[in-house]
Amino acid sequence: MADVISLLPDHVANQIAAGEVVQRPASVVKELLENAIDAGATSITLLIKDAGKTLVQVTDNGCGMSTTDARLSFERHATSKIKVAEDLFNLHTKGFRGEALASIAAIAHVELKTKQDVSEIGTHICIEGSQVTSQEAAVVPTGTTISVKNLFYNIPARRNFLKSDPVETRHIIDEFHRVALAHPQIAFSMVHNGTSVFNLPVSNLRQRIVNIFGNKTNEKLVPVDEETEILKINGFVIKPDFAKKGKGEQFFFVNNRFIKSPYLNHAVSSAFEGLLKDGSKPGYFLMLEVDPKSIDINIHPTKTEIKFDDEHALYALLRATVKHSLGQFSIAPVLDFNRESSLDTPYEYAGKRAVAPTIEVDRHFNPFKTETKSSGRSLAGTSFRKEKATENWDSLYVGLKDNEFSSKSDLNPGQFTYETEEVTSKMFDDDAQETSSITFQLQNKYIISPIKSGMLVIHQHLAHQRVLYEELLKNITLNQAVSQQLLFPLELHFSKPDIEALLKVRQQLEHTGFVFASFKDDSVEITGLPVALVESQAGIVLEQIIQDILAEVPDAGFSQNDMLVRSMAKSMAIKTGTKLSKQEQEHLVNQLFLCKEPSVSPSNKPVIITLDSTDLDKKFQ
């Protein structure tokens, strides 16, 4: 039998490695920023276009590379960080495996410009798909500039799997935050599509946090500082009053490297026990320093997970340190056995006995007697006196006989004033009230509604999303949804993972109006639907829900109910291009303005645009 095992070509091996190292543009940003830090840079600039799909460029003022090193840096497993295997357990740098540049060059167009301080000229190299297209000397500043263009150009399937630009940009910003927070002694700047996003000067950790997350973050921070033989902890935790539902502000750094550790996160959460509201997550920016020999970084391709020798000791120290900081700054109650001197009994009263109070009463007082002595005193010490008898009460009406007002002049209506309600102007003019009910539909997409100052342009699809979102959210919260029963059960087929995803949200779906008869390995039987849902759209809605659960849950800070309702509202809303009658247009507008947030959709997109008459006048000038 012929041999079937052969060595992979280098470009194929690089593409396979790229699948582990480069998952999205944010992965490229992470690797290039870490290389710049390892080069000893004090100023780093990140430039991206189209969420990194078109361009990711990192410029630093580090030590630069020679011509030979610049060419060799794109080879697999070429690194200056380690020489022997023992060096893996004594790492002080970011990168060490030598796979990043080789993997990136295999799936993109890479351009490198670098120069050392001792050299007069630098090196300019261009690589496409692991193939060097040009290498020449060039006049460049000291440092290195790497431009990664057209990511995944030769792997269309991987490029198609990328999310939308806002999602990918969010991932890039997250990676930028992680690197910038770990190195406040380095100046960072970020530019996206020609717009400056961050400009972070050299500072300390507290100032860096404030520069990234806003000035109001300063009052939320509680410092944490502790040093032991096995662990040094410093950084900040966020006060419980400012805790959020999501996990956006949770950062662990071990030896200036960002890591993800559910185990250590549980230690911080236990320190906040009893201080957070239900569903809130603690926020923290904690820098941990340990002996490099006590950790193993080389257990994950992206190096975001590490292994500790003694996790139990780190857990106990971290929990105790955070709890101590919260108590030290009066965030949490602490036990204090010192006696408060202000609560002690004065020395001159130590030997005295308590004296019972005395009460003076008038024992001769009788409230049923018509006359009492003026000298008598009440229980409270107030004197009582005899009220004058209301004798001759009829004298009060002397002069009010009918004959005294017989003359007409005495009853002149002009002499009297009448109390009337103040007449105020109307909030809306009659003309405005007549025209407010007039609506127009533009291109079966927008609804135009005139107002006094101009007109409103309403996006009908987003408006209906907002209406359905608030209605479904109310139903799912109050469990008061109404279902329409089907004459014949509806059977829909899904894959097994999709069925498992639906089972996780079965209770929430039933609260919105779904009635499930049975779940099988590859199908689900439905006997009832929400009132606003057509039977033909049931499968579309459930598929959209499954996609959102599988795709958005890891990246979203929303609750499961909120995500479920947003997905249903998006699927059930009227589509763009649907023609609406006058009654339907007016009903949609009225329902929209009954919502709590009519101006934005559930996905925070604008629903209403106001065009003033002044804006229209400017168009005709």
From residue 236, alpha-carbon distances to 149, 275, 325, 509 in Å are 38, 16, 9, 40
| Highest averaged pLDDT of the listed ranges 93-102, 176-185, 349-358 | 176-185
Q: How far is CA 104 from the centre of its chain?
A: 31
**Which pLDDT band holds residue 219 (cuts at 50, 70, 90)?**
confident
Q: Residue 204 has what pLDDT?
A: 92
Say if residue 594's pLDDT is above 50. yes
From residue 146, alpha-carbon distances to 90, 166, 192, 246, 369 in Å are 28, 24, 16, 34, 106
In degrees, rounded to 5, the angle at the alpha carbon of residue 524 between the alpha carbons of residues 518 and 525 is 60
Question: What is the tens place of the pLDDT at every residue in 34-74?
Answer: 889 988 899 999 999 998 999 999 999 999 998 888 888 88
**Which pLDDT band holds residue 577 (cuts at 50, 70, 90)?**
confident
Instruction: Write out the two tokens for 218.
Output: 């300063």
Least confident among 22-31, 92-101, 324-333, 505-514: 92-101
DSSP class of 600: B
Question: What is the tens place of the pLDDT at every residue in 359-396?
Answer: 888 888 887 876 544 444 444 444 445 455 556 666 66
DSSP conformation letters of 534-579: -GGGHHHHHHHHHHHHHHHTTT--S-HHHHHHHHHHHHHSPPTT--
Question: 212-251: b or e for each residue (b if 16 or more CB lie within 10 Å)?
Answer: bbeeebeebbbebeeeeeebebbbbbbbbeebeeeeebbb
Exposed, middle or buried by CB within 10 Å (0-12, 13-18, 19+), for 509?
buried
Say if residue 595's pLDDT is above 80. yes
Question: 471-486: b or e for each residue (b if 16 or more CB lie within 10 Å)?
Answer: bbbebbeeeebebeee
Provide φ and ψ at 619, rounded to 5°: -70, -20
**Rounded distance, CA 98 to CA 93, Å?**
12
Structural domains of the chain in order of their starting residue, each with its CATH number = 10-200 (3.30.565.10), 214-328 (3.30.230.10), 440-610 (3.30.1370.100)
